[in-house]
Chain A
Amino acid sequence: MEQGSFQGAYNVFKIIIMKKKRFICLYFQVHQPYRLGRFRYFDIGRRGGYFDDDKNRAILDKVSAKCYLPATLLLQDLVRSYPGRFKCSFSFSGMVLEQLQEMNPKVLSVFQELLSQPEVEVLAETYGHSLSALASQKEFEKQVKRHGEMIMSLFHQQPAVLRNTELIYSDSIGKYAAEMGFKGILAEGADRILGWRSPNFLYAASEAPALSLLLKNYRLSDDIAFRFSQPGWNEGPLTAEKFVHWLNAIPEDEPLVNLFMDYETFGEHQWAESGIFDFLQALPEAVFQNSDFQFITPSEVLEQLHPVDRISMPEPVSWADEARDLSAWLGNPLQDDAFESLYRLQSRVENCADEHIQRDWQKLQTSDHFYYMCTKYFADGDVHKYFNPYDSPYEAFVNYMNVLADFELRLETAASLPPALRRSFKIQREAIPHRVQTD
């Protein structure tokens, strides 16, 4: 009898607790690569200037106008309308921040304004939006550190949660993150890892239990990021009410829904005409009116929830394509040779103090260059083509390798090696009588 009434009271208590503790964690990724210009064999050793400044500026301006400005102003409004209640998080690659600094400081200041609100958290990532975690722990840590310094100077925040490039995570990367002192990391909630388990809990890294894993709910995230305006989707048009209805359908004991997506979803991947901004604007109100969910930032998740289990990902998992592995960036012979050739230069770059070299080194590591070399969808054309400035992955590869060859030459001349150790090859050819001799 006594025991029965305790059980009843406990159940009521549990429901109250559960009702209170259900969270939506919004995370937006902001990145633009430095796209390469055409770089021919004849340019090797003859000119610097790897990047297509005009194109990069044009794309940055376009994305700023369609997404960065309107979406950020809207989020500012939402944070002001629901103080302490509407929350979200961001991470920015060093690449997009450098470009905003150089070419569009106005947009940067709008971001700074939003990020100055306590409701908005900024996460750590690699400076170059690189795949360095797959090549070298040392390089990875250097990049995260360089990125952290930039975040501190621009946003005055010290990131406590890490998001690796393209949500790439593995047990090793978990260890790197824990060793750097991060308490949490974002990762993909891939079915093949989770099996019967749900992404809607907090997990811990199997090799580093002090590190918590926030796993992306890819179904609900992709409903917004990919399917929102997809023709023929039988759930379209998606409204905030419908989305909240889906949130409510999640079993009550699952406390966390991680919605991770590219920021460019708003206005760039999904155009304004699709109603994506209306959706975003209506979402907080719909959540507050019709559900028990609260918005939360990644750091708050770590305070509010405890990991329910350990998750192991021996092989890297990403958020790209159906495969959710590395095959968008690595795996074909072109990508692998380019990747290995790049990181063969690492120790030489470390010994080089030249700041131009260091900056180009970051830019050349950007994962997008390897994405352009992906042959998976070369035949039928797909999302890869949409993002690819080259006509073919082969062209992307050849161009990249020419740039890398030039970079290597610069590295050798800039390196503080004594002349005796520098490699050299003196041309000794017979003078051609009618030739223009250069001196």
Chain B
Amino acid sequence: MRVLMFGWEFPPYISGGLGTACYGLTKGLMEHGAEVLFVLPRLFGGEDAGTMRMIGAAEAELPEEFSRFMEQGKMQLLQVNTALFPYATDKSYLSGDGAMGYDATFQSKTAMGGGLTGMYGSRLMDEVFRYASLAPDIAARHSFDLIHAHDWLTYPAGMAASSYAGKPMIAHVHATEYDRSGDFPNERVMQIEKMGMQSAERVIAVSEYTKKIAIKQYHIDEKKVDVVHNGVLPGSEKPEVRVDKTFPVVVFLGRVTFQKGPEYFLYAAAKVLRNNPDVRFVVAGHGDKLLSMITLAARLKISSRVSFTGFINSADIGQLFGDSDVYVMPSVSEPFGISALEAARAGVPVIISRQTGVAEVLKSALKTDFWDVDGMSDAIIALLQHNSLRRWMSRNGRQQARMQTWNKAASRVLTTYSKLLS
């Protein structure tokens, strides 16, 4: 089976969860014997390279097993000539990337600061359709059985390839505009999402939660949607648990944006600190709400117990998990929430909002509604107070995270493929 897959980022050059997901999923698919043609946007010289850091897929250092797959001819990386690439520091791009997470491989000039507008620029839209316009040519030059497109930026490309080659398409929903922007979505993005999901033969949602959104917000036929939960890559970093620490640490890790609910974390922190003034809270990540969150912490008079890290790289994330006693994901709407699994994998007890997809697989996590700061602070206090509870959650969380492999996810995806081809 050959799959023509449209993505927009791939490790090691990733700006968020989507790149990691594509990596995990393609690896799992190939382990099951599928062949993948992975299309990445890329620039071919001539453009003004001075303002952007240009990394083509060809220059990407692939993990060892991928080189093997490539040698065996199971995988090919294709590049197309477009400026759409995940490492742009273009503000509109940054805010438009639904899966953009904490793992910012690119570096901001300053660790903090720098406002994101939360708006979509016109350039990004142009790039999406430019990417799509190149898709038929790729489809013509390769043979494949079906098309698999990841999130709205690649739906038009998938649709173009599908209509050119007459092959069925799968729309893989990692996030929706509804999650990112709540009641104030970007209409054009929503339109593309809806078009992509509707014209696709099948839709894969990363959670039941997201499936419901696809049905309710995008009016997609329920029978057409399969749920495939994301996996978590085996931990490469070994969190060095800090044994000399004299204070408990509670961590928020993710983009500091509306979607992630950072303000609920701070309100809960203020309540916890009334109970235990020694707890330290860490807000790790960057985003358009960072400055207002710093101000909020100051207004709540809790800054002496809250650290804001700004952008944080994966080595630091390992250390942060090693430090942390509780991980909180208070997302307002989270299609999946892979970093909760990563925290669980590192043995950190997890509190998640009910508005997350990961809640479906991380059964041991404590759950509250995102807006319920009382419930959230109670959960934090309970975890910090009761060593036995923390131990139990740590053990169970790690087990559940371990079971959530990409190999398992890939076999579910293959089931969808065979449904489509039979």
**A residues bordering B, Cβ < 8 Å?**
38, 40-42, 44-45, 332-334, 336-338, 340-341, 344, 391-392, 394-395, 397-398, 401-402, 404-405, 408-409, 412-413, 423-425, 427-430, 432, 434-439
Contacts and interface: CB of A to CB of B under 8 A. Distances in A.
A402 B390 contact: no
A430 B349 CA distance: 11
B242 A427 contact: yes
B241 A427 contact: yes
B3 to A, nearest CB: 34
A40 B309 contact: yes
B56 interface: no
B112 to A, nearest CB: 4
B325 A427 contact: yes
B243 interface: yes
B301 A337 contact: yes
B308 A398 contact: yes
B303 A397 contact: yes
Contacts of B113: 391-392, 394-395
A430 B394 contact: yes
A278 B249 CA distance: 59
Contacts, number: 128
A425 B112 contact: no
B216 interface: no
Interface string B331-358: 0000000000000001100000000000
A423 B239 contact: no
Contacts of A392: 110, 112-113, 291
A394 to B, nearest CB: 5
A427 B391 CA distance: 10
A-B pairs with the 10 shortest C-beta distances? A41-B307, A341-B304, A333-B298, A337-B298, A392-B113, A395-B112, A391-B110, A428-B387, A337-B303, A333-B299
Contacts of B391: 428-430
Nearest to A336: B298
B282 interface: yes
A42 to B, nearest CB: 6
Nearest to A422: B246
Contacts of B304: 337, 341, 344, 401, 404-405, 408
30 contacts: A40-B309, A41-B320, A42-B309, A42-B316, A333-B295, A333-B299, A334-B294, A337-B304, A340-B301, A392-B112, A394-B294, A397-B303, A398-B308, A401-B303, A404-B304, A425-B246, A425-B248, A425-B278, A428-B387, A429-B241, A429-B347, A429-B394, A430-B398, A432-B238, A432-B398, A435-B238, A435-B239, A435-B241, A438-B240, A438-B243
A340 B391 CA distance: 36
Contacts of A394: 112-113, 290-291, 294-295
Given A391-B112, A395-B110, A398-B112, A338 B319 contact: no
A409 B245 CA distance: 10
Nearest to A337: B298
Given A401-B303, A429-B241, A430-B347, 8 more contacts: A41-B307, A45-B246, A337-B297, A392-B113, A409-B247, A425-B248, A427-B325, A435-B238
Contacts of A429: 241, 325, 347, 390-391, 394
- Residue picked from A40, A402, A408, most chain B C-beta under 10 Å: A40
Contacts of B242: 427
A402 B297 CA distance: 14
Nearest to B304: A341
- Residue picked from A41, A334, A413, most chain B C-beta under 10 Å: A41
Interface residues of B, number: 49
B180 interface: no
Given A392-B110, A428-B390, A438-B240, A334 B303 contact: yes
A429 B398 CA distance: 12
A404 B298 CA distance: 14
Contacts of B284: 41
B267 to A, nearest CB: 15
B111 interface: yes
A376 to B, nearest CB: 14
Contacts of B212: none
B240 to A, nearest CB: 6
A94 B395 CA distance: 54
A427 B384 CA distance: 10
Nearest to B242: A427
A76 to B, nearest CB: 43
Nearest to A435: B238
Contacts of B301: 337, 340
B27 interface: no
B111 to A, nearest CB: 7
Contacts of A427: 241-243, 245, 325
Contacts of B239: 432, 435
Nearest to A437: B241
Contacts of B291: 392, 394
Nearest to A400: B303
A231 B92 CA distance: 39
Contacts of B298: 332-334, 336-338, 397
Contacts of B394: 429-430
Nearest to A38: B111
Contacts of A398: 112, 294, 307-308, 310
B363 to A, nearest CB: 18
B255 interface: no
A434 B307 contact: no
Nearest to A424: B246
A423 B278 contact: yes
- Residue picked from A42, A395, A409, A425, most chain B C-beta under 10 Å: A425
A202 to B, nearest CB: 42
Contacts of B299: 333, 337
Given A336-B298, A337-B301, A337-B304, A425 B245 contact: yes
A430 B310 CA distance: 29
B172 interface: no
B174 interface: no
Contacts of B320: 41-42
Nearest to B109: A391
A255 B280 CA distance: 58
A392 B114 CA distance: 9
A409 to B, nearest CB: 7
A199 to B, nearest CB: 36
A126 to B, nearest CB: 23
A40 B284 CA distance: 11
B173 to A, nearest CB: 33
A434 B238 CA distance: 7
Contact of A425 (B247, B307, B310, B398): B247
A17 B199 CA distance: 99
Interface string B272-298: 000000101010100000110011011
